[in-house]
Amino acid sequence: MRNHVMKTKLIASLSAAFILGAGCATVEPPKELVSARAQYEAAMKSPTAQQNPAGLYDAKKALDVANEAYGEDPEGEETRDFAYLALRKVELANAKASSELAVAQKNKLVNSRMKQTEQSLAETQKQLEQSKLAMKDNERMTAEEIRKRDEALAKTSEELEKERQARAEAEKKAQSVADELARVASTKREARGIVLTLSGAVLFTSNQATLLAGARTKLDEVAVALQKAESSGFVVEGHTDSVGGEASNQALSERRAQAVRDYLVSKGVPPEDITSVGYGKQRPIADNTSAEGRANNRRVEIVIKPPNTVTAR
């Protein structure tokens, strides 16, 4: 209940700040401020918001400062600095919330798998005990047959333990990679794998597919993390807003996805492990009727697919 009240207050405060900014300035906000507003609004509506209320509150305060600076001096360097700081705080708060939710989901999955393993082992042991009783009662099995059955059970138990350890190691590595990526941009776990979302404004200039210098720094960190990941492959997805023609948006999304893919390959990601695809405006994650929504939809997503199998080493 307390989290819900806090969330309501934060949304109300942010709305007031947006109204103030709109009333005091006619200059278009910096792209960092637009992106920070959009990501904050999306974060507050996300199920992960309750995972990190303190971080979102800090992000809200930073966003208030940026909005106030924009209202006083829309084109000032300080306004852009505060906007960038607010964007980073929103990204970090959202990443931490997503990470904590992913950890909870991961723990639930691991516990479920361990329970299944224990049940399987218990059932095997039960069957062995029943077999031993039957052998003793009927005197139909020799000591050698019993020994072989015991060896089979021991081997099964050993294989189950190796599988459990391998699964735990894979989960640990996956979480380590997710934590590294969360320091770069927003991450979330989906059925298709870990999804890293990079704002289009951070990567490219408007309507271009040439990476900015700052984008290369971010992608350097992404490349290092991807090379540590145990994955069945990576997919770079390009997305646009709804402004412009469908064909031009499709082409732009493909070029941007290809540019990110090529850069990651140049930094050591095996080319056979990574592909790119453009979706144009087909898969929005926000309403395209607002500047914030369109900013949120202009993005590149990197999907880290889970490994096909877990093999004990």
Going from N- to C-terminal start, the domains of the chain cover 2-100, 104-171, 175-305
| C-alpha dist (Å) from residue 78 to 31, 75, 83 | 14, 9, 8
More confident residue, 62 or 248: 248
Mean pLDDT of all residues in 251-264: 97
pLDDT digits (tens, 9 = 90+) for 258-286: 999 999 999 999 999 999 999 999 999 99
More confident residue, 73 or 172: 73
Q: How far is CA 138 from the centre of its chain?
A: 59
pLDDT value of residue 310: 47
| C-alpha dist (Å) from residue 207 to 96, 185, 252, 298 | 31, 22, 7, 10
Q: Is the pLDDT of residue 23 over 80?
A: no
- Chain mean pLDDT for the chain: 83
Give 289's contacts (C-beta < 8 A, 6+ positions apart).
none
Q: Which CATH class is domain 175-305?
A: alpha beta
Mean pLDDT of all residues in 291-301: 94
Best mean pLDDT range from 51-65, 92-106, 173-187, 258-272: 258-272
Where are the alpha helices (H) located in 25-142, listed in sequence order? Answer: 31-45, 53-72, 77-138
Based on its alpha-carbon atoms, the radius of gyration of the chain, rounded to whole angstroms, reads: 26
Q: Is the pLDDT of residue 17 over 60?
A: no
Residues found in the chain = 313
Q: How far is CA 105 from the centre of its chain?
A: 13
Q: Is the pLDDT of residue 298 over 90?
A: yes
Percent of the residues in the chain that have a pLDDT greater than 70, as a whole number: 88
Return the minimum-mean-pLDDT range out of 52-61, 108-117, 148-157: 108-117
Burial class (CB in 10 A: 0-12, 13-18, 19+), 15: exposed
